[in-house]
A and B are shown apart, each in its own frame.
Chain A
């Protein structure tokens, strides 16, 4: 069980699409950068088939310092959530059906 990285993705763009190594690396970088920029401008990202990156505003809520037990409020914040698309969900479930360790 491995881990897919930006380097693996650039390598495939180089090998399969023939982008040169510099272009391939820049493409992968700018792909994630554009998604991040969009989310940082409070703009949802919808990649059909793969999934949606949504933004949620959370209100301040009470929390606790786990070490001291002291009550510390958790401040209001904006968070990213990912909702996988149907195609991705189906593909991942198929993994479980085909010998994923369950």
Chain B
């Protein structure tokens, strides 16, 4: 499912809203989530999961072409931990296959 397919499905579920409203709502929600993480905040969605930042220590990397070492600074990367309900539903789909 892509973002535009998600929007279509939401349009079907919210008949009182225009397509434009739904598009804007999806954009607003994703922007807000991106913003939260980029401020170092967590996102906690019950039944779905949580997003947080994971620390990556500085390290010496290598340019794969030249073999030269490059020092890479510490950084944060986004991490998602599925919630119990999502985990179970996804795993149940394996049992149905």
Interface residues of A (CB under 8 A from B): 1-6, 8-9, 12-13, 16-17, 19, 23, 26-28, 30-32, 34-36, 38-51, 53, 55, 57, 76-82, 84, 87-89, 91-96, 100-102
Q: For this complex, into which size category does the number of interface residues on chain B fall?
A: 35 or more
Which A residues lie within 8 Å of B28 (CB)? 12-13, 16-17
Which A residues lie within 8 Å of B9 (CB)? 34
Q: Does A17 contact B21, Cβ atoms closer than 8 Å?
A: yes
Tell me the B15-36 residues at the A interface (CB within 8 Å). Answer: 16-17, 21-22, 24-26, 28-30, 32-36
Which B residues lie within 8 Å of A91 (CB)? 34-35, 37-38
**A95 and B39 in contact, given A13-B28, A16-B28 (Cβ under 8 angstroms):** yes
Closest to B88 in A: A40
Between-chain CB contacts (< 8 Å), 29 pairs = A3-B42, A4-B32, A4-B36, A4-B41, A4-B42, A4-B43, A4-B44, A12-B32, A13-B28, A16-B28, A17-B21, A19-B25, A23-B16, A28-B29, A35-B6, A42-B93, A50-B34, A57-B94, A80-B49, A80-B87, A80-B90, A82-B51, A82-B78, A82-B79, A82-B80, A84-B78, A89-B78, A95-B38, A102-B74
Cross-chain pair count, CB within 8 angstroms: 172
Q: Does B14 contact A92, Cβ atoms closer than 8 Å?
A: no
CB of A19, distance to nearest CB on chain B (Å): 7
Interface residues of B (CB under 8 A from A): 1-3, 6, 9-10, 13-14, 16-17, 21-22, 24-26, 28-30, 32-49, 51, 53, 55, 73-80, 82, 85-87, 89-94, 97
Closest to B79 in A: A82
